[in-house]
Amino acid sequence: MLGHLSIPGVYMRFSRLWLLMLALFAISMIAVACNGDDDDGAVASGETLKTVLDRGTIKVGVKDSQPGFGNLEPDGTFAGQDIEFARALAAALFGNKNQVEFVVASAANRFELLSSEEIDVLIRTTTWTSSRDIDLKSSFTATTFYDGQGIIVNANSPIQSLSDLEGSTICVTSGTTTEVNLATRLGAAGVNHTALSFAGDAEIIEAFIAGRCDAWTADKGNLAGQRTSFPADAGGSAALRILPDTLSKEPLGPVVRDGDTEWYDLVQWVVFGTMAADELGVNSQNVTAMAANPPSKDIADLLGASFQGAPVSEFGASLGLSPTFMQDVLFQVGNYDEIYQRTIAQIGLARAGSINASWLDGGLIYAPPIR
């Protein structure tokens, strides 16, 4: 074919250019490939910890759009309770809370991401239910937040409890379990009401401000967030009141794949560790002092310190972690209460007196003993 070329110079220049292009493209692809993770592939059960340690980061599926739990800040970083627990896991594994890769998981694809091993743990306001636990081959490690469906009304509304909702119109997000729960609970109580469905929170708020409904229902964690950010020209957060009734149980917490009990234990006990530290009064401020001179055997065992010359507890070692992993977690991230105050308290959900208080204060947050 070359013999037919009447203008070989042009052709040569062309071909050299193409070669250069191809080479550069190959280089860029290789650069990308080297940068990415090569160990995304299948891992036999029981090896999640090894994979994570080899990779040097833990991959966590999170939400990017729920203030207090998981949302993206203007600078492109994540914030929220779910995010803090992901960082706590990284601190426990690597002694560095920043060795975590966040993967944005949607409500629809989160279990896919988990089962296809794209993520090591799912911490995305995921409710612990029997079908998810059993059918979706996932295991719920611990509950980090007890949510539940609530109802919000105007602060000056006469509605005080569920029975006052007789004859009222209630706004609800269409196609959610909240819609079903509302019908079931109010139906069982014999309360006649009209449910008005909307596509999302924003539409509901508009309808509520326009007076189209007397109340609106959603998970309490969500309602509290909406209340804090209620438009100032509509009266701000003072214009709204959340009813004390809870219509459903929504325990939220980290989820792992079935079949890797070692990994399950690790995730579970890092979460319990933050709760135990809260119960024992160990926090990010005093952890260094307490590790140097533990005031009790419980604290010494939690922090992997020696108590009055006794040998260090097996807690960290039995999880495949450093004996002092909880020191890193507490120093870098903090205990359960510190995490809560930094995240969920900021959206207006006080911890004191709620079901998310420590069991010592009458709440449900309870860590099994470490010994």
Which residues contact another protein (rule: CB under 8 A)? 1, 3-6, 17, 21, 24-25, 27-29, 31-33, 35-42, 64-68, 71-77, 101-106, 109, 112-113, 116, 118, 201-202, 205-206, 225-226, 228-229, 231, 346-347
Nearer CB in complex with another protein: 73/314:
73
CA neighbor of 138 nearest in space, from 54, 48, 50: 48
Least distance CB 75 / another protein (angstroms): 6
Least distance CB 322 / another protein (angstroms): 26
**Pairing assessment for the beta strands 138-140 and 255-257 based on DSSP bridges:** antiparallel
Least distance CB 112 / another protein (angstroms): 6
Nearer CB in complex with another protein: 101/265:
101
Nearer CB in complex with another protein: 232/292:
232
**Pairing assessment for the beta strands 70-72 and 145-147 based on DSSP bridges:** unpaired
Least distance CB 187 / another protein (angstroms): 31
Nearer CB in complex with another protein: 21/360:
21
Cβ contact 121:58 at 8 Å: yes
Complete DSSP assignment for 327-347: HHHHHHT--HHHHHHHTGGGG
Nearer CB in complex with another protein: 105/170:
105
Residues 6 or more apart whose Cβ sits within 8 Å of residue 101? 57, 58, 59, 60
Nearer CB in complex with another protein: 6/130:
6
Least distance CB 193 / another protein (angstroms): 25
Least distance CB 7 / another protein (angstroms): 9
Residue type, 243: L
Least distance CB 333 / another protein (angstroms): 20
Nearer CB in complex with another protein: 79/182:
79
Residues 6 or more apart whose Cβ sits within 8 Å of residue 14? none
Alpha-carbon distance of 352 to 339, in angstroms, equals 14
Say how far residue 270 (Cα) sits from the centre of its chain. Answer: 14
Alpha-carbon distance of 69 to 125, in angstroms, equals 7
Least distance CB 146 / another protein (angstroms): 21
Q: How far apart are the first and last CA of the chain?
A: 81
Nearer CB in complex with another protein: 24/350:
24
Cβ contact 133:140 at 8 Å: yes
Cβ contact 81:88 at 8 Å: no
CA neighbor of 264 nearest in space, from 119, 141, 127: 141
Number of C-alpha atoms within 13 angstroms, CB side, residue 333? 37
